[in-house]
């Protein structure tokens, strides 16, 4: 079995409402998002048309909008919503999503959650 191709967006800095503490519910904080989308990049490589590619700029814009307009209590929930958004593109077979809060703990560079989701295949 071959390793799938991957499109990545790494360390996308966003600001959003994320957390359970009172100050986190009112003040947007730094949120760092990384996305790895498993897909077949051969059609884009052959045609050199952006329409045949996973547009990482559009993926980043969608992720940023979700972080900035959402009001999530748990990092796990944000990760799940980001993964669902990535899998809306039928060319994405699976994705890995990491969300970190760099300012959550004074003694740590960041805290966060990483998840992996695959496209549901009926009968699989």
Q: Tokens in use for 109? A: 């560079």
pLDDT confidence of residue 120: 75
pLDDT confidence of residue 4: 87
Are 40 and 28 a contacting pair, CB within 8 Å? Answer: no
Going from the C-alpha of 31 to that of each of 1, 4, 49, 53, 85, the distances in angstroms are 35, 28, 32, 26, 17
Kindly name the residue from 101, 107, 113, 114 that is annotated as catalytic: 101
Range 5-118 has CATH code 3.30.1130.10: yes
Q: What are the extents of the domains in the chain?
A: 5-118
The reply to whether 62 belongs to the active site is no
Q: Tokens in use for 80? A: 């799940």
Nearest CA-CA partner of 103 in 21, 34, 35:
21
Q: Are strands 5-18 and 29-39 parallel, antiparallel or unpaired?
A: antiparallel
How confident is the model over 16-33, as pLDDT tens digits? Answer: 999 999 999 999 999 999
How confident is the model over 47-100, as pLDDT tens digits? Answer: 999 999 999 999 999 999 999 999 999 999 999 999 999 999 999 999 999 999
pTM: 0.92
d(CA 82, CA 121): 19
How confident is the model over 1-15, as pLDDT tens digits? Answer: 566 899 999 999 999
């Amino acid at each position: 079995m071959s390793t799938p191709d991957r499109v990545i967006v790494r360390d996308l800095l966003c600001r959003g409402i994320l957390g359970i503490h009172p100050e986190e519910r009112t003040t947007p904080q730094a949120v760092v998002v990384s996305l790895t989308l498993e897909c077949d990049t051969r059609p884009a490589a052959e045609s050199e048309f952006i329409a045949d590619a996973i547009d990482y700029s559009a993926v980043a814009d969608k992720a940023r909008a979700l972080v900035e307009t959402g009001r999530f209590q748990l990092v796990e929930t944000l990760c799940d919503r980001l993964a669902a958004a990535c899998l809306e593109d039928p060319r994405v077979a699976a994705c890995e999503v990491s969300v970190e809060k760099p300012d959550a703990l004074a003694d740590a560079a960041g805290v966060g959650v990483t998840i992996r989701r695959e496209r549901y295949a009926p009968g699989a």
